[in-house]
Chains A and B, each alone.
Chain A
Protein backbone atom coordinates (compact mmCIF):
# COMPACT_ATOMS: atom_id res chain seq x y z
CA UNK A 1 0.00 0.00 0.00
CA UNK A 2 1.37 3.39 -0.99
CA UNK A 3 1.72 5.76 1.94
CA UNK A 4 2.95 9.34 2.01
CA UNK A 5 3.29 11.02 5.39
CA UNK A 6 4.28 14.67 5.63
CA UNK A 7 5.82 16.35 8.65
CA UNK A 8 7.62 19.54 9.57
CA UNK A 9 4.85 22.08 9.31
CA UNK A 10 4.09 24.64 11.96
CA UNK A 11 3.93 28.30 12.84
CA UNK A 12 6.80 30.44 11.61
CA UNK A 13 7.39 34.18 11.46
CA UNK A 14 7.66 36.01 8.14
CA UNK A 15 11.19 35.66 6.83
CA UNK A 16 11.70 32.39 8.65
CA UNK A 17 12.45 28.90 7.40
CA UNK A 18 10.96 25.42 7.62
CA UNK A 19 11.87 22.07 6.15
CA UNK A 20 9.05 19.75 5.24
CA UNK A 21 9.58 16.01 4.94
CA UNK A 22 7.50 13.35 3.24
CA UNK A 23 8.13 9.73 4.18
CA UNK A 24 7.18 7.40 1.36
CA UNK A 25 6.48 3.68 1.47
CA UNK A 26 4.79 0.97 -0.56
CA UNK A 27 6.53 1.69 -3.87
CA UNK A 28 10.01 1.95 -5.41
CA UNK A 29 10.73 5.54 -4.47
CA UNK A 30 13.42 6.27 -7.05
CA UNK A 31 11.20 5.09 -9.92
CA UNK A 32 8.77 7.97 -9.63
CA UNK A 33 8.85 11.72 -9.77
CA UNK A 34 7.47 13.50 -6.73
CA UNK A 35 5.56 16.72 -6.36
CA UNK A 36 4.56 19.26 -3.71
CA UNK A 37 1.13 20.89 -4.00
CA UNK A 38 -0.26 23.40 -1.55
CA UNK A 39 -3.72 24.57 -0.63
CA UNK A 40 -4.28 27.84 1.18
CA UNK A 41 -7.18 27.82 3.66
CA UNK A 42 -10.46 27.70 1.75
CA UNK A 43 -8.68 27.94 -1.60
CA UNK A 44 -7.86 25.69 -4.51
CA UNK A 45 -4.82 23.59 -5.35
CA UNK A 46 -1.53 25.22 -6.32
CA UNK A 47 1.42 23.29 -7.73
CA UNK A 48 4.63 24.24 -5.91
CA UNK A 49 7.52 22.06 -7.02
CA UNK A 50 8.46 18.74 -8.59
CA UNK A 51 11.51 16.52 -8.82
CA UNK A 52 12.38 13.69 -11.18
CA UNK A 53 12.87 10.14 -9.98
CA UNK A 54 16.65 10.47 -10.06
CA UNK A 55 16.57 13.84 -8.37
CA UNK A 56 18.53 15.33 -11.24
CA UNK A 57 15.78 17.64 -12.43
CA UNK A 58 13.82 20.04 -10.30
CA UNK A 59 11.02 22.47 -11.10
CA UNK A 60 9.44 25.36 -9.21
CA UNK A 61 6.48 27.66 -9.40
CA UNK A 62 7.50 31.27 -9.97
CA UNK A 63 5.96 32.18 -6.61
CA UNK A 64 8.54 30.07 -4.73
CA UNK A 65 11.54 30.05 -7.07
CA UNK A 66 14.69 31.13 -5.30
CA UNK A 67 13.14 30.59 -1.87
CA UNK A 68 12.15 26.89 -1.85
CA UNK A 69 14.34 23.88 -2.62
CA UNK A 70 13.01 20.41 -3.35
CA UNK A 71 15.19 17.36 -2.80
CA UNK A 72 14.91 13.64 -2.21
CA UNK A 73 16.91 10.96 -0.42
CA UNK A 74 16.33 7.53 -1.93
CA UNK A 75 18.23 5.83 0.89
CA UNK A 76 15.57 7.12 3.28
CA UNK A 77 12.62 7.10 0.86
CA UNK A 78 12.00 10.70 1.82
CA UNK A 79 11.08 13.85 -0.08
CA UNK A 80 11.94 17.28 1.27
CA UNK A 81 10.95 20.86 0.76
CA UNK A 82 13.25 23.48 2.26
CA UNK A 83 11.34 26.72 2.57
CA UNK A 84 13.22 29.96 3.23
CA UNK A 85 12.17 33.61 3.36
CA UNK A 86 8.63 32.58 4.13
CA UNK A 87 5.80 35.01 3.50
CA UNK A 88 2.23 35.23 4.75
CA UNK A 89 1.01 34.07 1.34
CA UNK A 90 2.88 30.78 1.80
CA UNK A 91 0.38 29.82 4.50
CA UNK A 92 -1.22 26.59 3.32
CA UNK A 93 -1.50 22.86 3.75
CA UNK A 94 1.40 21.32 1.86
CA UNK A 95 0.78 17.92 0.28
CA UNK A 96 3.41 15.67 -1.17
CA UNK A 97 2.28 13.52 -4.06
CA UNK A 98 3.65 10.67 -6.14
CA UNK A 99 3.70 11.08 -9.91
CA UNK A 100 2.53 8.19 -12.02
CA UNK A 101 5.85 7.99 -13.92
CA UNK A 102 9.52 8.78 -13.36
CA UNK A 103 9.30 12.21 -14.97
CA UNK A 104 7.24 15.03 -13.48
CA UNK A 105 5.21 15.70 -16.62
CA UNK A 106 2.35 13.51 -15.49
CA UNK A 107 -0.56 13.27 -13.12
CA UNK A 108 -0.09 12.36 -9.47
CA UNK A 109 -1.81 9.24 -8.22
CA UNK A 110 -1.19 9.27 -4.45
CA UNK A 111 -1.29 12.17 -2.06
CA UNK A 112 -0.34 12.62 1.56
CA UNK A 113 -2.76 14.16 4.02
CA UNK A 114 -0.64 17.29 4.18
CA UNK A 115 1.11 19.40 6.78
CA UNK A 116 -0.02 22.91 7.70
CA UNK A 117 2.40 25.79 7.39
CA UNK A 118 1.31 29.05 8.97
CA UNK A 119 3.40 32.16 8.38
CA UNK A 120 2.45 34.85 10.84
CA UNK A 121 3.97 37.20 13.37
Chain B
Protein backbone atom coordinates (compact mmCIF):
# COMPACT_ATOMS: atom_id res chain seq x y z
CA UNK B 1 0.00 0.00 0.00
CA UNK B 2 1.29 3.43 -0.94
CA UNK B 3 1.52 5.83 1.98
CA UNK B 4 0.82 9.49 1.26
CA UNK B 5 2.38 12.01 3.64
CA UNK B 6 1.31 15.63 3.63
CA UNK B 7 3.17 18.54 5.16
CA UNK B 8 2.76 20.66 7.08
CA UNK B 9 -0.20 19.49 9.12
CA UNK B 10 -1.27 23.11 9.58
CA UNK B 11 -0.31 26.13 7.49
CA UNK B 12 -0.98 29.62 8.81
CA UNK B 13 -1.21 32.15 6.00
CA UNK B 14 -2.45 35.71 5.68
CA UNK B 15 -5.05 36.53 3.03
CA UNK B 16 -3.36 37.48 -0.21
CA UNK B 17 -0.25 35.47 0.52
CA UNK B 18 0.94 32.35 -1.25
CA UNK B 19 0.38 28.92 0.25
CA UNK B 20 2.48 25.90 -0.64
CA UNK B 21 1.31 22.44 0.41
CA UNK B 22 3.40 19.30 -0.02
CA UNK B 23 2.49 15.68 -0.57
CA UNK B 24 4.96 12.81 -0.71
CA UNK B 25 4.29 9.26 -1.88
CA UNK B 26 6.12 6.26 -0.42
CA UNK B 27 6.90 5.09 -3.96
CA UNK B 28 6.50 6.49 -7.44
CA UNK B 29 2.94 7.21 -8.51
CA UNK B 30 3.92 8.92 -11.77
CA UNK B 31 1.42 11.78 -12.14
CA UNK B 32 -1.58 9.90 -10.78
CA UNK B 33 -2.33 12.33 -7.99
CA UNK B 34 -5.35 14.43 -7.10
CA UNK B 35 -5.89 17.28 -4.66
CA UNK B 36 -9.19 17.91 -2.85
CA UNK B 37 -10.46 20.76 -0.73
CA UNK B 38 -12.85 20.15 2.15
CA UNK B 39 -14.64 22.74 4.27
CA UNK B 40 -16.36 21.90 7.57
CA UNK B 41 -19.62 20.07 7.06
CA UNK B 42 -19.12 19.82 3.31
CA UNK B 43 -18.13 17.11 0.88
CA UNK B 44 -14.65 17.29 -0.62
CA UNK B 45 -14.19 19.14 -3.91
CA UNK B 46 -11.77 18.09 -6.63
CA UNK B 47 -9.17 20.77 -7.33
CA UNK B 48 -6.44 19.07 -9.33
CA UNK B 49 -6.01 15.69 -11.05
CA UNK B 50 -3.16 14.24 -13.03
CA UNK B 51 -0.93 16.19 -10.61
CA UNK B 52 -1.36 19.46 -12.52
CA UNK B 53 -4.71 19.63 -14.35
CA UNK B 54 -7.26 21.94 -12.77
CA UNK B 55 -10.74 20.50 -12.47
CA UNK B 56 -13.70 22.24 -14.04
CA UNK B 57 -14.46 25.58 -12.44
CA UNK B 58 -11.34 25.73 -10.26
CA UNK B 59 -9.75 29.20 -10.18
CA UNK B 60 -6.36 29.70 -11.77
CA UNK B 61 -4.82 30.62 -8.39
CA UNK B 62 -4.74 26.88 -7.66
CA UNK B 63 -1.90 25.01 -9.33
CA UNK B 64 -0.39 21.58 -8.92
CA UNK B 65 3.04 20.28 -9.78
CA UNK B 66 5.30 17.30 -9.33
CA UNK B 67 5.62 13.70 -10.43
CA UNK B 68 7.03 10.49 -9.06
CA UNK B 69 7.01 10.91 -5.29
CA UNK B 70 6.99 14.66 -4.64
CA UNK B 71 4.00 16.90 -5.29
CA UNK B 72 2.99 20.46 -4.50
CA UNK B 73 -0.28 22.35 -4.41
CA UNK B 74 0.17 26.10 -4.62
CA UNK B 75 -2.48 28.70 -3.93
CA UNK B 76 -1.02 31.87 -5.37
CA UNK B 77 -3.01 34.46 -3.43
CA UNK B 78 -5.19 33.13 -0.65
CA UNK B 79 -8.80 34.25 -0.60
CA UNK B 80 -11.05 33.97 2.42
CA UNK B 81 -12.88 31.01 0.89
CA UNK B 82 -9.62 29.05 0.53
CA UNK B 83 -9.16 28.46 4.25
CA UNK B 84 -9.97 24.77 4.48
CA UNK B 85 -8.55 21.25 4.67
CA UNK B 86 -6.64 19.92 1.68
CA UNK B 87 -6.04 16.25 0.88
CA UNK B 88 -3.89 14.58 -1.71
CA UNK B 89 -4.84 11.16 -3.12
CA UNK B 90 -2.98 8.68 -5.27
CA UNK B 91 -4.70 6.46 -7.81
CA UNK B 92 -1.67 4.86 -9.44
CA UNK B 93 -1.20 1.68 -7.41
CA UNK B 94 -4.64 0.35 -6.61
CA UNK B 95 -6.42 -0.90 -4.74
CA UNK B 96 -6.33 0.76 -2.36
CA UNK B 97 -6.47 4.35 -3.44
CA UNK B 98 -4.87 6.24 -0.54
CA UNK B 99 -5.21 9.72 0.84
CA UNK B 100 -2.81 11.89 2.75
CA UNK B 101 -3.76 12.87 6.28
CA UNK B 102 -4.57 16.42 5.21
CA UNK B 103 -3.19 19.94 5.57
CA UNK B 104 -5.28 22.57 7.28
CA UNK B 105 -4.84 26.05 5.85
CA UNK B 106 -5.79 28.58 8.51
CA UNK B 107 -5.86 32.33 8.76
CA UNK B 108 -2.71 33.81 10.24
* Chain A residues in the interface with B (C-beta under 8 A): 35, 37, 44-47, 50, 59-62, 95, 100, 104-114
- Overall SS of chain B's interface: loop
**Residues from chain A with Cβ under 8 Å of B87 in the complex:** 44-45
Q: Which B77-108 residues sit within 8 Å CB-CB of chain A?
A: 87, 89, 91-92, 94-102
B23 close to A (CB within 8 Å):
no
Chain B residue with the shortest CB-CB distance to A109:
B46
Contact with A along B23-42 (1 / 0, CB 8 A): 00000000010101010001
Given contacts A45-B99, A47-B99, contact A104 B94 (CB under 8 A): yes
- A50 to B43 Cα, complex, angstroms: 18
Contact B97–A114 (Cβ < 8 Å)? no
Which of B42, B46, B97 has most A Cβ within 10 Å?
A: B97
Chain A interface, >50% SS class:
strand
22 contacts across the A-B interface (CB closer than 8 A):
A37-B44, A44-B87, A44-B101, A44-B102, A45-B38, A45-B87, A45-B89, A45-B99, A50-B95, A50-B97, A60-B95, A95-B44, A100-B46, A104-B94, A107-B46, A107-B91, A108-B46, A109-B49, A110-B46, A111-B45, A113-B42, A114-B43
What's the tally of chain B residues with a CB closer than 8 Å to chain A? 26
Residue-wise, chain B 1-38 has the 8 Å CB interface mask toward A (1 for contact) of 00000000000000000000000000000001010101
Contact between B99 and A46, CB atoms less than 8 A apart:
yes
User: Which of A44, A50, A106 interacts with B49 by CB under 8 Å?
Assistant: A106
Choice from A61, A107, A114 contacting B96 with Cβ under 8 Å: A61
Task: Find chain B residues with CB under 8 A from A46 CB.
Answer: 99
B89 x A107 contact (CB < 8 A): yes
Q: Which residues of B contact A35 (CB under 8 A)?
A: 97
- B43 interface neighbour in A44, A47, A111, Cβ under 8 Å: A111
